[in-house]
Protein backbone atom coordinates (compact mmCIF):
# COMPACT_ATOMS: atom_id res chain seq x y z
CA UNK A 1 0.00 0.00 0.00
CA UNK A 2 1.20 3.52 -0.76
CA UNK A 3 2.24 5.35 2.42
CA UNK A 4 0.48 8.60 1.42
CA UNK A 5 -2.13 9.71 -1.14
CA UNK A 6 -1.70 13.51 -1.12
CA UNK A 7 1.77 14.92 -0.53
CA UNK A 8 2.60 18.63 -0.29
CA UNK A 9 6.15 19.85 -0.86
CA UNK A 10 6.99 23.31 0.50
CA UNK A 11 10.18 24.71 -1.08
CA UNK A 12 10.67 23.67 -4.71
CA UNK A 13 14.46 23.93 -5.00
CA UNK A 14 16.95 21.13 -5.63
CA UNK A 15 15.63 18.73 -2.99
CA UNK A 16 11.93 19.67 -3.13
CA UNK A 17 11.83 19.45 -6.92
CA UNK A 18 13.76 16.15 -6.90
CA UNK A 19 11.23 14.78 -4.43
CA UNK A 20 8.28 15.91 -6.60
CA UNK A 21 9.86 14.26 -9.64
CA UNK A 22 10.69 11.07 -7.74
CA UNK A 23 7.19 10.76 -6.22
CA UNK A 24 5.57 11.26 -9.61
CA UNK A 25 7.93 8.73 -11.21
CA UNK A 26 7.60 6.05 -8.53
CA UNK A 27 4.04 6.65 -7.24
CA UNK A 28 2.10 8.16 -10.16
CA UNK A 29 -1.27 7.99 -8.40
CA UNK A 30 -0.09 10.18 -5.50
CA UNK A 31 -1.28 13.78 -5.83
CA UNK A 32 1.67 16.19 -5.47
CA UNK A 33 1.03 19.82 -4.52
CA UNK A 34 3.85 22.35 -4.31
CA UNK A 35 4.46 25.81 -2.93
CA UNK A 36 7.52 28.06 -2.81
CA UNK A 37 7.83 31.51 -1.21
CA UNK A 38 9.58 32.81 -4.34
CA UNK A 39 7.10 33.69 -7.16
CA UNK A 40 9.78 33.08 -9.83
CA UNK A 41 10.27 29.53 -8.49
CA UNK A 42 6.50 28.92 -8.55
CA UNK A 43 6.42 30.17 -12.13
CA UNK A 44 9.23 27.81 -13.15
CA UNK A 45 7.56 24.91 -11.31
CA UNK A 46 4.37 25.47 -13.29
CA UNK A 47 6.25 25.84 -16.59
CA UNK A 48 8.10 22.55 -16.14
CA UNK A 49 4.97 20.80 -14.78
CA UNK A 50 6.69 19.79 -11.55
CA UNK A 51 3.52 19.12 -9.51
CA UNK A 52 -0.17 18.43 -10.03
CA UNK A 53 -0.79 21.88 -8.53
CA UNK A 54 1.41 24.81 -7.45
CA UNK A 55 -0.34 27.16 -5.04
CA UNK A 56 0.38 30.84 -4.39
CA UNK A 57 0.02 30.49 -0.63
CA UNK A 58 1.46 27.89 1.72
CA UNK A 59 -1.91 27.42 3.46
CA UNK A 60 -3.71 26.52 0.23
CA UNK A 61 -1.06 23.86 -0.48
CA UNK A 62 -1.77 21.84 2.66
CA UNK A 63 -5.56 21.87 3.18
CA UNK A 64 -6.07 18.22 2.12
CA UNK A 65 -2.51 16.85 2.50
CA UNK A 66 -1.75 13.67 4.40
CA UNK A 67 1.99 14.48 4.35
CA UNK A 68 3.72 17.87 4.18
CA UNK A 69 7.47 17.90 3.56
CA UNK A 70 9.33 21.14 4.23
CA UNK A 71 12.25 21.51 1.80
CA UNK A 72 13.43 25.02 2.72
CA UNK A 73 16.78 26.15 4.20
CA UNK A 74 17.12 24.91 7.79
CA UNK A 75 16.73 28.29 9.46
CA UNK A 76 13.54 28.95 7.44
CA UNK A 77 11.82 25.77 8.72
CA UNK A 78 10.07 27.46 11.66
CA UNK A 79 8.64 30.25 9.50
CA UNK A 80 7.51 27.79 6.81
CA UNK A 81 5.82 25.63 9.48
CA UNK A 82 4.10 28.63 11.08
CA UNK A 83 2.63 29.59 7.70
CA UNK A 84 0.79 26.26 7.34
CA UNK A 85 -0.23 25.81 11.01
CA UNK A 86 -3.85 27.02 10.63
CA UNK A 87 -4.58 25.02 7.46
CA UNK A 88 -3.13 21.60 8.33
CA UNK A 89 -5.63 18.71 8.49
CA UNK A 90 -5.74 17.11 11.95
CA UNK A 91 -4.10 13.81 10.99
CA UNK A 92 -1.48 15.21 8.58
CA UNK A 93 2.16 14.18 9.17
CA UNK A 94 4.79 16.90 8.89
CA UNK A 95 8.32 16.08 7.77
CA UNK A 96 11.35 17.93 6.40
CA UNK A 97 14.62 17.27 4.57
CA UNK A 98 16.93 19.61 6.52
CA UNK A 99 20.64 18.83 6.70
CA UNK A 100 20.68 19.11 10.50
CA UNK A 101 17.96 17.79 12.75
CA UNK A 102 17.94 18.91 16.43
CA UNK A 103 17.54 22.62 15.67
CA UNK A 104 14.93 21.94 12.97
CA UNK A 105 12.92 19.68 15.28
CA UNK A 106 12.90 22.44 17.92
CA UNK A 107 11.64 24.95 15.30
CA UNK A 108 8.90 22.60 14.08
CA UNK A 109 7.80 21.68 17.63
CA UNK A 110 7.50 25.36 18.52
CA UNK A 111 5.53 26.25 15.38
CA UNK A 112 3.31 23.14 15.34
CA UNK A 113 2.70 22.04 18.95
CA UNK A 114 0.94 18.69 19.32
CA UNK A 115 1.39 17.74 15.64
CA UNK A 116 2.91 14.51 14.32
CA UNK A 117 6.40 15.59 13.25
CA UNK A 118 8.73 12.97 11.71
CA UNK A 119 11.89 14.68 10.36
CA UNK A 120 14.20 13.07 7.82
CA UNK A 121 17.40 13.87 5.95
CA UNK A 122 18.15 12.42 2.53
CA UNK A 123 21.94 12.23 2.37
CA UNK A 124 22.00 13.08 -1.31
CA UNK A 125 22.48 16.33 -3.13
CA UNK A 126 24.60 18.36 -5.50
CA UNK A 127 26.20 21.79 -5.51
CA UNK A 128 23.28 23.13 -7.57
CA UNK A 129 20.04 24.69 -6.38
CA UNK A 130 16.62 25.67 -7.70
CA UNK A 131 13.72 23.77 -9.31
CA UNK A 132 15.51 23.01 -12.56
CA UNK A 133 18.50 21.45 -10.79
CA UNK A 134 16.45 18.56 -9.39
CA UNK A 135 16.13 15.08 -10.87
CA UNK A 136 14.00 12.03 -10.12
CA UNK A 137 16.85 9.60 -9.41
CA UNK A 138 18.65 11.76 -6.82
CA UNK A 139 17.72 9.54 -3.87
CA UNK A 140 18.29 6.15 -5.53
CA UNK A 141 20.84 4.04 -3.68
CA UNK A 142 21.41 6.80 -1.11
CA UNK A 143 20.66 6.97 2.60
CA UNK A 144 17.73 8.78 4.10
CA UNK A 145 18.06 9.22 7.85
CA UNK A 146 14.77 9.45 9.73
CA UNK A 147 15.11 11.20 13.12
CA UNK A 148 11.83 10.80 15.03
CA UNK A 149 11.42 12.66 18.30
CA UNK A 150 11.19 10.58 21.49
CA UNK A 151 7.75 8.95 21.75
CA UNK A 152 6.90 9.36 18.05
CA UNK A 153 4.11 7.16 16.68
CA UNK A 154 5.87 4.11 15.14
CA UNK A 155 3.21 3.86 12.40
CA UNK A 156 3.90 7.47 11.32
CA UNK A 157 7.68 6.80 11.36
CA UNK A 158 7.14 3.72 9.18
CA UNK A 159 5.02 5.67 6.66
CA UNK A 160 7.74 8.32 6.26
CA UNK A 161 10.40 5.59 5.99
CA UNK A 162 8.33 3.83 3.32
CA UNK A 163 8.08 7.06 1.30
CA UNK A 164 11.88 7.26 1.18
CA UNK A 165 12.19 3.58 0.28
CA UNK A 166 9.69 4.11 -2.55
CA UNK A 167 11.87 6.85 -4.08
CA UNK A 168 14.88 4.51 -3.91
CA UNK A 169 16.62 5.40 -0.64
CA UNK A 170 17.82 3.10 2.13
CA UNK A 171 16.45 4.21 5.47
CA UNK A 172 18.26 4.48 8.79
CA UNK A 173 16.75 5.78 12.03
CA UNK A 174 18.81 7.96 14.39
CA UNK A 175 18.37 10.32 17.30
CA UNK A 176 18.51 13.95 16.08
CA UNK A 177 21.58 14.91 18.19
CA UNK A 178 23.52 11.84 17.05
CA UNK A 179 22.63 12.60 13.43
CA UNK A 180 24.00 16.11 13.85
CA UNK A 181 27.36 14.88 15.20
CA UNK A 182 27.77 12.27 12.45
CA UNK A 183 26.83 14.68 9.66
CA UNK A 184 29.04 17.41 11.15
CA UNK A 185 32.07 15.27 10.34
CA UNK A 186 30.90 13.53 7.13
CA UNK A 187 29.20 16.48 5.41
CA UNK A 188 29.41 19.82 7.20
CA UNK A 189 33.15 19.86 7.97
CA UNK A 190 34.10 18.82 4.41
CA UNK A 191 32.06 21.75 3.10
CA UNK A 192 33.75 24.12 5.56
CA UNK A 193 37.16 22.87 4.43
CA UNK A 194 36.23 23.29 0.75
CA UNK A 195 34.93 26.83 1.34
CA UNK A 196 38.14 27.66 3.21
CA UNK A 197 40.63 26.26 0.72
CA UNK A 198 38.92 27.83 -2.29
CA UNK A 199 38.69 31.14 -0.39
CA UNK A 200 42.38 30.96 0.54
CA UNK A 201 43.40 30.18 -3.03
CA UNK A 202 41.34 33.05 -4.38
CA UNK A 203 42.93 35.41 -1.83
CA UNK A 204 46.31 34.27 -3.15
CA UNK A 205 45.29 34.85 -6.73
CA UNK A 206 46.93 38.27 -6.82
CA UNK A 207 50.20 36.60 -5.95
CA UNK A 208 49.83 33.66 -8.30
CA UNK A 209 47.93 35.55 -11.02
CA UNK A 210 46.00 33.06 -13.13
CA UNK A 211 47.81 29.97 -11.86
CA UNK A 212 44.96 29.03 -9.52
CA UNK A 213 42.62 28.65 -12.47
CA UNK A 214 45.20 27.25 -14.86
CA UNK A 215 46.27 24.36 -12.63
CA UNK A 216 42.90 23.61 -11.07
CA UNK A 217 42.37 20.35 -12.97
CA UNK A 218 43.47 18.23 -9.99
CA UNK A 219 42.41 18.03 -6.35
CA UNK A 220 41.57 21.73 -6.18
CA UNK A 221 38.88 21.31 -8.82
CA UNK A 222 37.03 18.78 -6.64
CA UNK A 223 37.04 21.33 -3.83
CA UNK A 224 35.63 24.03 -6.13
CA UNK A 225 32.58 21.85 -6.85
CA UNK A 226 31.77 21.56 -3.16
CA UNK A 227 32.58 25.24 -2.57
CA UNK A 228 30.02 26.17 -5.25
CA UNK A 229 27.22 24.87 -2.98
CA UNK A 230 24.33 27.15 -2.09
CA UNK A 231 25.41 30.01 0.25
CA UNK A 232 22.00 30.34 1.98
CA UNK A 233 21.72 26.63 2.64
CA UNK A 234 25.22 26.33 4.09
CA UNK A 235 25.12 29.54 6.13
CA UNK A 236 22.01 28.08 7.77
CA UNK A 237 23.54 24.63 8.34
CA UNK A 238 26.63 26.02 10.10
CA UNK A 239 24.58 28.30 12.34
CA UNK A 240 21.89 25.70 13.13
CA UNK A 241 24.41 22.89 13.81
CA UNK A 242 26.90 25.20 15.54
CA UNK A 243 27.79 23.01 18.55
CA UNK A 244 28.45 19.79 16.62
CA UNK A 245 30.40 21.61 13.89
CA UNK A 246 32.57 23.47 16.43
CA UNK A 247 33.28 20.21 18.28
CA UNK A 248 34.36 18.45 15.06
CA UNK A 249 36.32 21.52 13.94
CA UNK A 250 38.27 21.42 17.24
CA UNK A 251 39.19 17.76 16.61
CA UNK A 252 40.12 18.58 13.01
CA UNK A 253 42.32 21.53 14.05
CA UNK A 254 44.21 19.29 16.51
CA UNK A 255 44.78 16.67 13.80
CA UNK A 256 45.90 19.38 11.37
CA UNK A 257 48.40 20.68 13.94
CA UNK A 258 49.77 17.14 14.38
CA UNK A 259 50.24 16.92 10.61
CA UNK A 260 51.94 20.32 10.59
CA UNK A 261 54.39 19.08 13.26
CA UNK A 262 55.06 15.89 11.31
CA UNK A 263 56.02 17.92 8.25
CA UNK A 264 58.11 20.39 10.26
CA UNK A 265 60.07 17.60 12.00
CA UNK A 266 60.43 15.43 8.87
CA UNK A 267 58.37 12.68 10.51
CA UNK A 268 57.87 10.63 7.35
CA UNK A 269 56.49 7.65 9.26
CA UNK A 270 53.65 9.71 10.72
CA UNK A 271 52.73 11.04 7.27
CA UNK A 272 53.02 7.62 5.61
CA UNK A 273 50.94 5.89 8.29
CA UNK A 274 48.13 8.45 8.11
CA UNK A 275 48.00 8.39 4.31
CA UNK A 276 47.97 4.56 4.35
CA UNK A 277 45.04 4.60 6.78
CA UNK A 278 43.04 7.13 4.73
CA UNK A 279 43.71 5.25 1.48
CA UNK A 280 42.23 2.10 3.10
CA UNK A 281 39.10 4.07 4.08
CA UNK A 282 38.63 5.28 0.51
CA UNK A 283 39.04 1.73 -0.82
CA UNK A 284 36.51 0.31 1.61
CA UNK A 285 33.98 3.00 0.56
CA UNK A 286 34.45 1.93 -3.08
CA UNK A 287 34.11 -1.75 -2.15
CA UNK A 288 30.80 -0.95 -0.47
CA UNK A 289 29.62 0.63 -3.74
CA UNK A 290 29.37 4.14 -2.32
CA UNK A 291 31.84 5.84 -4.65
CA UNK A 292 30.76 9.43 -5.22
CA UNK A 293 34.14 10.83 -6.16
CA UNK A 294 33.04 11.19 -9.76
CA UNK A 295 29.33 11.93 -9.38
CA UNK A 296 27.09 10.60 -12.09
CA UNK A 297 23.96 12.53 -11.33
CA UNK A 298 21.86 10.50 -13.73
CA UNK A 299 22.83 7.21 -12.17
CA UNK A 300 20.11 4.74 -11.41
CA UNK A 301 21.71 2.21 -9.04
Residue 147 sits in the site that holds ligand PRE (CB under 6 A): no
Regarding 9 and contact with ligand NAD (CB under 6 A), the answer is: no
Binding string, residues 187-226; x marks residues near ligand PRE by CB under 6 A: x---------------------------------------
**Cβ at position 236, least distance to ligand NAD in Å:** 7
The partner in contact with residue 11, picked from ligand NAD, ligand PRE, none with C-beta cut-offs of 5 to 8 angstroms by kind, is: ligand NAD
The binder of ligand NAD chosen from 3, 4, 6, 16 (CB under 6 A) = 16
CB of 229 to ligand PRE, least distance (A): 6
In this complex, which beta carbon is closest to ligand NAD, that of residue 170 or of residue 270?
Answer: 170
Smallest gap from Cβ 77 to ligand NAD, in A, equals 7
Q: Does 51 bind ligand NAD (CB under 6 A)?
A: no
Q: SS in 3 state form for the chain?
A: CCCCCEEEEECCCHHHHHHHHHHHHHCCCCEEEEECCCHHHHHHHHHCCCCCEECCCHHHHHCCCCEEEECCCHHHHHHHHHHHHHHCCCCCEEEECCCCCHHHHHHHHHHCCCCEECCEEEECCCCCCCCCCCCCCCCCCCEEEECCCCCCCHHHHHHHHHHHHHCCCEEEECCHHHHHHHHHHHHHHHHHHHHHHHHHHHHCHHHHCCHHHHCCCCHHHHHHHHHCCCHHHHHHHHHHCHHHHHHHHHHHHHHHHHHHHHHHCCCHHHHHHHHHHHHHHHHHHHHCCCCCCCCCCCCCC
Mask for 118-137, x = binds ligand PRE (CB under 6 A): -----xxxxx----------
Amino acid sequence: MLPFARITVIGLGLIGSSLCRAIRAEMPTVRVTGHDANPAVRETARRIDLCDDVTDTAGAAVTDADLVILCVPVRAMGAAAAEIADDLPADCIISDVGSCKADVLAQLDAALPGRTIIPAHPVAGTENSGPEAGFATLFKGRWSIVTPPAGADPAAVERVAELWRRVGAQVETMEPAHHDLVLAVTSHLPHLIAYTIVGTASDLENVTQSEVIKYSAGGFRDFTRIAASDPTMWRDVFLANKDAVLEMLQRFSEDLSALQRAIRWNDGDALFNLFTRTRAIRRSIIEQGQDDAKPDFGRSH
